[in-house]
Structure 1
Amino acid sequence: MDRQPPISRRNLLLGAAAFGVPAALVGCGSGGTPAPGPSGTGPGALGTVTIGSNASDEIPKKSLDTVVKSFTQAATRINTVDHNTFQENINRYLRGTPDDVFTWFAGYRMQFFAEQGLAVDISDVWREIGGDYTQAFKDQSTGVDGKQYFVPFTYYPWAVFYRKSLWRDKGYEPPATLDEFTALARRMKADGLIPIAFADKDGWPAMGTFDILNLRTNGYDFHVSLMGGKESWTDPRVRQVFDTWRGLMEFHQPAALGRTWQEAAQSLAQKKTGMYLLGMFVAQQIPEADRDDLDFFTFPEINPAYGTDSIDAPIDGYMISAKARNVAGAKALLKHFAQASAQNVATGLDPGTLAASSKADTSGYSSLQKRGAELVSKATHIAQFLDRDTRPDFASTVMIPSLQTFVGKPDEIDPLLASIEQQKANIFR
């Protein structure tokens, strides 16, 4: 599918080659030309802006396309690549022939590419949009050099999701401690349910389980230090995390390495599983008529010293590649993404997201979105997610296969942790 001007076959193939994937994996934004704006700001006034997007699922893809359609200062082309493929090939992409603007993540992942000189300093953009964001969002958009490289668009919390009607029928109550969580899982199993929906075919979902268990067991500071390569993976505190996880494995949906997160979410929708630890985007897989039946609780306390003070709440947004051909148009587009009105459109179309702008209208939020915003506002510490809080190469080449190995063979912890530590030492030098 094309936006005006149309994408040539050559450009389509170049986009695919930049990611090292077949052109069949690449899609484009939907058709149509934006409505004319004021003189000097209509379509094409700033040329054409290309957007490299990882929003390959139906709802996020439609959301981005709709938001971009209302941008009137330049023509646009959206080059969509499968989400996982995008992340796995991002380094090669940015060093090759990247689009002007690309979807990416706040925090460490943003800082990593900024330090590599692969992103454009957009501090001038922030001088215009800064009043629309809290300091926390600005901090997550700032490189180690104190300059801004990222515009936050939406975010979402991770929590344990469930169907209210199922829990009401069974008399289940959200647990407050790990012991209560385990007792609930046993009860669900006795009732003929698979207690915990689980999938890790794509490699990243298990990271969320590791994150929350580590945050609950060892606290935010240790977690961030571990992600930064400053702690040993053979530390007894890390071993305790995997021991706890192994103890919960009997309640997880089996054969997880052959299942996508979407399939696991559908099992929750069908009431075949009792609960699911995932991001709020799980709502995308719940039929619209049933979304009011979806609720969540934050993962329960493990260590009283840390309680439930920390959560994962990743921030998604946009950056400008250092090789951008249309920096002026790209900066105008980022200002568009920063507008509350643009984010309102996105959160209205995607039930699994919350607007990053502090000026966004939340009156139209669903009950789930309102609860999600409340959960984030009450958290003392907010992590970005394992593959966003550490080096991209460590996340993709070490942690994805390591966690998949653990999921497949949860009894072989010590050799696995020794392997992770050895590989970490070679990467974090």
Structure 2
Amino acid sequence: MDHGAPLSRRNLLLGAAAAFGVPALLTGCSSGPRPATGGASASGGLGTVTLGSNASDEVPKKSLATVLDSFHSAQVKVNTVDHNTFQENINRYLKGTPDDVFTWFAGYRMQFFAEQGLATDISDVWREIGGDYTQAFKDASTGTDGKQYFVPFTYYPWAVFYRKSLWQQKGYEPPRTLDEFTALARKMKADGLIPLAFADKDGWPAMGTFDIINMRTNGYDFHISLMGGKESWTDPRVRQVFDTWRGLMEYHQPAALGRTWQEAAQSLQQKKTGMYLLGMFVAQQFPENERDDLDFFTFPEINPAHGTDSIDAPIDGYMISAKAKNVDGAKALLKHLAQAAAQNVATGLDPGTLAASSKADTSGYSALQKRGAELVSKAAHIAQFLDRDTRPDFASTVMIPSLQSFVGKPGEIDSLLAGIEKQKATIFR
């Protein structure tokens, strides 16, 4: 899979990938071995498989635990680590003493570690599960050497979320252009609402705003080329992205660097904010009886040449580390996670996700999940989120602090972009 090759609607239909992943020593919360309840034997015929998980939030953590309850071939010892810690330490973790299986992301981020020999080739697993996935999902799981290293589990689109009841009360309509979006934000501000929920304490949420403004302004191909280190960050096209973003800052929730995405999502749930650009996992922060009140629209058009043809829709899944002690057990676990039945359980418990398997039963999807699947199917290009479409070191050491600096001081664009370009030149050699 070419790093810069677009995942088109015709190739894709339902998915693509994005965001970060795993820690150095995995000193997180271990659930201990989960005994097999059937199948091979009471103790698990394939012994114990260790699983390094970044599913630290309550909903995805419960979802994974429930999925593992139906795995009977081995015991699974889950080591759960805070999501951001997991991401920031992935390189040291994989080079140290990693678990057998670990949660990670498809596409470029998977390829980066596969190229370094830090992941196990699972092409034999794909010979058994390949019929359950579209070619696009297989492509997103394939290394530059043509071998597979990743099993897709779930995915989720990014969009602008809102509460239907609040919008009906206020008479708001989804905007189609940036001018309409800005006018709506002004109206919300006049109505006493904070127009845009926003948080960047964890470093990655602002990446989604940059991604969508860049794709809307300059198109998918330029965005992917920029992420691949092939474009200059001092290019006027990049400056235009930050100029546009700066123009929207007055409508963003203030003090974003001290707020988590969960807190921003709760402000949307509490009707203190009018909109929130985030992944569909925002639904995790809504009580079950309020999730039907959650809806979204795709970020509006900025440049008519590109319209709204591109979105972020990250794929999450699982890999086997190169240092795995129980490879047979790990491969059995990945086959289990690839099954439609396992993914059906996950999407039923986590309203912010969609199943990657083509054989998954979508009839039980909520209205929000059905809308999410439709949004992805109609997109011409699916990006895999900034920190998944570029080198992990560039994302963590350059882009996180740079975007946080911009959020804190949105007026200093030229020096910011010059600094990014200088560091990029050092990293992308």
TM-score range, shorter chain: over 0.9
SS of structure 2 residue aligned to 1:49: strand
Q: Which residue is 2:391 aligned to?
A: 391
Q: How does 1:166-185 map to 2 (within 5 A)?
A: 166-185=166-185
> Would the alpha carbon gap of residues 30 and 158 (structure 1) be closer, same or farther in structure 2, given more than 3 Å must change?
farther
CA contact (8 A) 1:106 1:141 kept: yes
Q: Which residue is 2:61 aligned to?
A: 61
- Report how far residue 31 of structure 1 moved: 7.2
Alpha-carbon distance in 1 for matches of 2:45, 2:257: 49
Alpha-carbon distance in 1 for matches of 2:33, 2:288: 26
- Report how far residue 19 of structure 1 moved: 1.9
CA contact (8 A) 1:47 1:329 kept: yes
CA contact (8 A) 2:185 2:251 kept: yes
Alpha-carbon distance in 2 for matches of 1:278, 1:121: 33
- Report how far residue 20 of structure 1 moved: 5.1
Q: How does 1:263-274 map to 2 (within 5 A)?
A: 263-274=263-274
Q: Which residue is 1:4 aligned to?
A: none
Q: Which residue is 2:278 aligned to?
A: 278
CA contact (8 A) 1:160 1:299 kept: yes
**Count of matched residue pairs:** 408
- Report how far residue 349 of structure 1 moved: 0.5
Structure 1 unaligned regions, length at least 5:
1-16
Q: Which of 13, 16, 24 matches 1:19?
A: 24
SS of structure 2 residue aligned to 1:241: helix
Alpha-carbon distance in 1 for matches of 2:266, 2:241: 28
Q: Which moved more, 1:41-50 or 1:278-287?
A: 41-50
SS of structure 2 residue aligned to 1:35: coil
Cα deviations by residue, 1:113-169 (Å, 9 ceiling, x for unpaired):
000000001011001000000011011000011110000000000000000000000
1:295 aligns with 2:300: no
- Report how far residue 44 of structure 1 moved: 2.0
Q: Which residue is 1:35 aligned to?
A: 37
Aligned-pair RMSD on alpha carbons? 1.2
Cα deviations by residue, 1:385-409 (Å, 9 ceiling, x for unpaired):
0000000000000000000000000
SS of structure 2 residue aligned to 1:162: strand
Fraction of identical pairs, as percent = 85
Q: How does 1:330-349 map to 2 (within 5 A)?
A: 330-349=330-349
Q: Which residue is 2:5 aligned to?
A: none
- Report how far residue 35 of structure 1 moved: 1.5
CA contact (8 A) 1:394 1:427 kept: yes
Alpha-carbon distance in 2 for matches of 1:349, 1:370: 15
Cα deviations by residue, 1:340-378 (Å, 9 ceiling, x for unpaired):
000000000000000000000001100000000000000
Q: How does 1:8-407 map to 2 (within 5 A)?
A: 19=24, 23=27, 26-29=28-31, 33-37=35-39, 40=40, 43-407=43-407
- Report how far residue 287 of structure 1 moved: 1.3
Alpha-carbon distance in 1 for matches of 2:32, 2:349: 15
Alpha-carbon distance in 1 for matches of 2:139, 2:305: 27
Query: Which residue identity is paired with 2:30?
Result: C
> Which structure ranks higher in relative contact order (CA pairs < 8 Å, sequence separation ≥ 6)?
2
> Would the alpha carbon gap of residues 349 and 335 (structure 1) be closer, same or farther in structure 2, given more than 3 Å must change?
same
Alpha-carbon distance in 2 for matches of 1:305, 1:43: 59
Normalising by structure 2, we get a TM-score of 0.94
Alpha-carbon distance in 2 for matches of 1:330, 1:33: 15
Query: Which residue identity is paired with 1:29?
Result: S
- Report how far residue 34 of structure 1 moved: 3.0
- Report how far residue 42 of structure 1 moved: 5.7
> Would the alpha carbon gap of residues 254 and 226 (structure 1) be closer, same or farther in structure 2, given more than 3 Å must change?
same
> Would the alpha carbon gap of residues 355 and 114 (structure 1) be closer, same or farther in structure 2, given more than 3 Å must change?
same
- Report how far residue 28 of structure 1 moved: 2.1
CA contact (8 A) 2:33 2:77 kept: no
Alpha-carbon distance in 1 for matches of 2:127, 2:189: 55
Query: Which residue identity is paired with 1:427?
Result: I
Cα deviations by residue, 1:265-298 (Å, 9 ceiling, x for unpaired):
0000000000000000000001111100000000
- Report how far residue 18 of structure 1 moved: 6.7
SS of structure 2 residue aligned to 1:29: strand
SS of structure 1 residue aligned to 2:219: helix
Q: Which residue is 1:13 aligned to?
A: none
Query: Which residue identity is paired with 2:374?
Result: E
Q: Which residue is 2:13 aligned to?
A: none
Structure 2 unaligned regions, length at least 5:
1-21
Query: Which residue identity is paired with 2:290?
Result: D
- Report how far residue 41 of structure 1 moved: 6.2
Alpha-carbon distance in 1 for matches of 2:217, 2:247: 14
Alpha-carbon distance in 2 for matches of 1:317, 1:203: 22
Alpha-carbon distance in 2 for matches of 1:120, 1:176: 45
Alpha-carbon distance in 1 for matches of 2:34, 2:427: 45
Cα deviations by residue, 1:247-270 (Å, 9 ceiling, x for unpaired):
000000000000000000000000
- Report how far residue 36 of structure 1 moved: 1.2
CA contact (8 A) 2:99 2:321 kept: yes
Query: Which residue identity is paired with 2:423?
Result: Q
CA contact (8 A) 1:47 1:75 kept: yes
Alpha-carbon distance in 2 for matches of 1:58, 1:380: 33
CA contact (8 A) 1:18 1:96 kept: no
CA contact (8 A) 2:34 2:77 kept: no
CA contact (8 A) 1:121 1:148 kept: yes
